[in-house]
Structure 1
């Protein structure tokens, strides 16, 4: 009964703030109206509306999430930024100073994080698990395995783990990988642009968005960010006739693209002199990407796709809650008191995510013919893995870092969404090995990627205010 009352209060609170936001939007100037004219009401393929998401994110979830992401467990991300591009020869790394990434020295990373293995959470937890397993096996038959058999079993397990992943996470095992402090290397405008940057998005869209084979030339939705025309109308006309899974795939990529462009517009280099460098909101840059007139009516659609992406990743957090609630799970950094407090904050955020009243219904995906659904799911998984590999072709190291993190986070969210049975069947004790696992790399990318989307939603409120008086 208490939970029901809490949900009712949450709905009332969200509704009140939503009404206020709609009133502000209606009263705003023409520039704001052009960017946000269609960013209201119910989202396609969802029961949720934009106003509910704004109120929930900006007033309830965003402040708590930002605090969590500043903690040691989530601020250090391991990445190999020197991996060669697997698709084309490209040695044209960005020479701009804002493209550089400063990796951590060994003494800057908490010892507990450095001691993490791929699938376990601390040496201490490993030892406790070993003691439990050993006690259970005393007096039993000889179950020892040869080294060759152990290697084969590990190989099978790795294959099974990879089969469930929607992204490539091999950076964590690479000897060339280094830890990066995300707080010291924020995502912002770097000056990386032009043909090399567009080649990345062109590859993501053209090679992975299920283009219609009946059309002679490629449909390039990434071009919508710079011009308008028949190509845009042809692509969206084709997209509207596709199944919900293909529409969802495109909208996720478009939402990620929109989110990144919001970050670059919100943290733009506004002043660069010998005595200061000032970062701030660039409304002209924002309008170039999202103004309805400049983009031929496509800008607001991109923003709506951002909200769709938000719902997908929010739903994944809610469904992953049982995994993080297990007593055996800990945010291990080697600082017990801080680790305990941060796990409590994480669980508070996950419970808040679960309380959201209008979640995306993932059961609408892959709900048709079983064989066809399995093939489509496999195609989408391969496409997402391909996108995570394309990130190794980004010439700007800072853009590469955040591109890898956000594509891995989205891939992890999809892994969670399609692992419901394994999550529900998670063992209550630490003796039996769970069939569903998330590595630290996946956990950090999942929460930070959602943090980027949450920040984008929050920044839209800032841009609404800044554009309100622009005519």
Structure 2
């Protein structure tokens, strides 16, 4: 532990020296060099950079290439529940190629209740039912025992921050995330603006009505004054509502970094070239081009990183259970990947400056419970908005990252249930994560981790240009 903290400290010092050197060479115009402590937490940017880029990022990327984590089940054909949308992206880069059945390991298909024989479904349901009922007092009547199971299901749903019906939908398909990478697709304009407008205006808490129309393009590119409106929402808000807004803003910033880092730079008959677009990055984050808002967005990205990192650390006891497996049917590989996962989670837990989630919902119990439910319902609504995204590839990654963040919040708000997990299989667990939630949680954090890494690349690129 001491050696790890020393390596983090040394790496932080080297990153700080680099930042100071780059800042001098760019004469203070290297706007992406966010430094110092973050609001509402004791951590600083330099420590996060060193910890992520030098220690965690390489291990995480290796794990995410495994069969268990690269295959994500998603329904991309759900209609938008809020407005009629006929503007599906016609650009070829918006398309998503699903997996054929033989490309998905049998263990994943079975463990995810994928389509197979009705007899197998019935047997699996009966086994699960028997196991669940076995954990209930046998002296109870059959009717009461069934009610207890219904209550357990209801309690699990009450803890969810995202819509999860994709898992059981007949229209859901497995997608190989490595073959459908997140990158700039050309999806933009009023349809894309409407998505972020709905997310911010309808779900972020604010003390007054924001003047309409509000164009989300101003949030990331305009030089007008509308962009300032978003941050004026935070004035006078409690720490929980500030945190919720900053998570949404951090997710938006992270996605924008991904699109800028994997931009279509060239397209001709023999080659399509993808790479970092410094100009696009500047349009979204440059302090002058965004009236000083760009660095705030990047700080919110770091805040998002801290929240999801804390959730991984808190989830460690769940993954340490002997009964838990990253099951694909390849036993040796499955065990190897579980060991890699536990190594990453142990590393996450060793981070020296974790976000202190005890500051959230620490007030009056009744008021805190209402505030938590308000935030849960707002985030649930955001997960539904992702079905309105016209670009299928953007929809895929939007749904995954939203579900991942929602799972992180579920973990943070379930500390007591996680601590109460049974040490054996004799008791019915009080905390559960589905395979879908696990894949989303790790991949969503992988995206944020990649964003932090890409910032380092953009610093170098912009420094060279200047």
Residue 9 of structure 2 corresponds to which residue in structure 1? 12
Kept after mapping to 1: 8 A contact 2:278/2:461: yes
Deviation (angstroms), 1:35: 2.2
The answer to whether structure 1 residue 35 and structure 2 residue 31 are counterparts is yes
Residue 230 of structure 1 corresponds to which residue in structure 2? 225
What is the DSSP-based 3-state SS (H/G/I as helix, E as strand, rest coil) of the residue aligned with 2:194? helix
Q: Deviations over 1:396-427 (max 9, x none)?
A: 00000000000000000000001000111110
Q: Which residues of 2 match residues 47-196 of structure 1 at below 5 A?
A: 47-117=42-112, 146=142, 152-196=147-191
Kept after mapping to 2: 8 A contact 1:366/1:373: yes
TM-score by length of 2: 0.92
Deviation (angstroms), 1:143: 5.8
Q: Deviations over 1:282-313 (max 9, x none)?
A: 00100000011111111111001000000000
Residue 375 of structure 2 corresponds to which residue in structure 1? 380
Distance across 2 between alignment mates of 1:23 and 1:349: 30
Aligned length: 457
Distance across 2 between alignment mates of 1:150 and 1:105: 40
Kept after mapping to 1: 8 A contact 2:320/2:342: yes
Q: Deviations over 1:92-131 (max 9, x none)?
A: 2111100000000000000000001469xx99xx89x98x
Residue 346 of structure 1 corresponds to which residue in structure 2? 341
Distance across 2 between alignment mates of 1:50 and 1:355: 17
The answer to whether structure 1 residue 199 and structure 2 residue 199 are counterparts is no
Work out which of the residue numbers 46, 53, 58 in structure 1 matches 2:41.
46
Deviation (angstroms), 1:431: 1.9
1:97/1:117 CA distance change after superposition, 3 Å:
closer
The answer to whether structure 1 residue 452 and structure 2 residue 465 are counterparts is no
Residue 362 of structure 1 corresponds to which residue in structure 2? 357
Deviation (angstroms), 1:153: 4.3
Residue 419 of structure 2 corresponds to which residue in structure 1? 424
Residue 392 of structure 2 corresponds to which residue in structure 1? 397
Residue 287 of structure 1 corresponds to which residue in structure 2? 282
Deviation (angstroms), 1:145: 6.7
Q: Which moved more, 1:427-436 or 1:411-420?
A: 427-436
Residue 209 of structure 1 corresponds to which residue in structure 2? 204
1:425/1:98 CA distance change after superposition, 3 Å:
same
Distance across 1 between alignment mates of 2:340 and 2:187: 36
Residue 330 of structure 1 corresponds to which residue in structure 2? 325
Kept after mapping to 2: 8 A contact 1:21/1:51: no
Distance across 1 between alignment mates of 2:32 and 2:137: 68
Residue 315 of structure 1 corresponds to which residue in structure 2? 310
Kept after mapping to 2: 8 A contact 1:118/1:439: no
Deviation (angstroms), 1:142: 6.2
Deviation (angstroms), 1:20: 2.9
Kept after mapping to 2: 8 A contact 1:219/1:235: no
Distance across 2 between alignment mates of 1:384 and 1:86: 15
1:344/1:154 CA distance change after superposition, 3 Å:
same
Distance across 2 between alignment mates of 1:394 and 1:426: 38
